[in-house]
Amino acid sequence: GQQVMQIPQYQHVQEGEDFTTYCNSSTTLSNIQWYKQRPGGHPVFLIQLVKSGEVKKQKRLTFQFGEAKKNSSLHITATQTTDVGTYFCADTSYNTDKLIFGTGTRLQVFP
C-alpha cells in the first residue's frame, strides 16, 4: 500500500542553522503537500507541489519535488524559534482519493 516516509524523525538545531526534511514514497506521488504542526496544535497547510522537479519558495522555506515524483524536501534557511514544530508531507492521490501523511519530522530550535 501507499507508504510515505520522512527523515529524520527528529532534529534539533541551533537558531540560525539550516534544516532539511526529506519525504520518500514507495510509489509515484500524485501531488505533494507540506504541513506544519506547532506543539499542541493542528496541522496547517504550507504549500502544494504538482510538477516533476518543481521548486517553490516561501521566504526562508524552499520546497522541492523530485524529478521522478517519488520524493520531496523542505529546506529552512537560518532557522528561528518560530520554526519549532512537526513538518509533514502528504500525498494527495487522485487515483485513490486518499490524503496520506508522512511520518513527520519534529524540529526543535535552541536559541
Partner 1 sequence: NAGVTQTPKFQVLKTGQSMTLQCAQDMNHEYMSWYRQDPGMGLRLIHYSVGAGITDQGEVPNGYNVSRSTTEDFPLRLLSAAPSQTSVYFCASSYRRATGNTEAFFGQGTRLTVV
Interface with partner 1 (CB under 8 A): 1, 6, 9, 30-31, 33, 35, 42-45, 48, 50, 88, 90, 92-94, 97-104
Beta bridge partners of 88: 35
Q: Which residues contact 42 (CB under 8 A, 6 or more apart)?
A: none
Of residues 16 and 53, the one with the C-beta less far from partner 1: 53
Q: Give, in order, the Cα–Cα distances in Å from 27 to each of 35, 68, 99.
A: 20, 10, 14
The distance of closest approach from Cβ of residue 107 to partner 1 in the complex, given in angstroms and rounded to an integer, is 15
* Amino acid in position 83: D
The distance of closest approach from Cβ of residue 4 to partner 1 in the complex, given in angstroms and rounded to an integer, is 8
The distance of closest approach from Cβ of residue 98 to partner 1 in the complex, given in angstroms and rounded to an integer, is 6
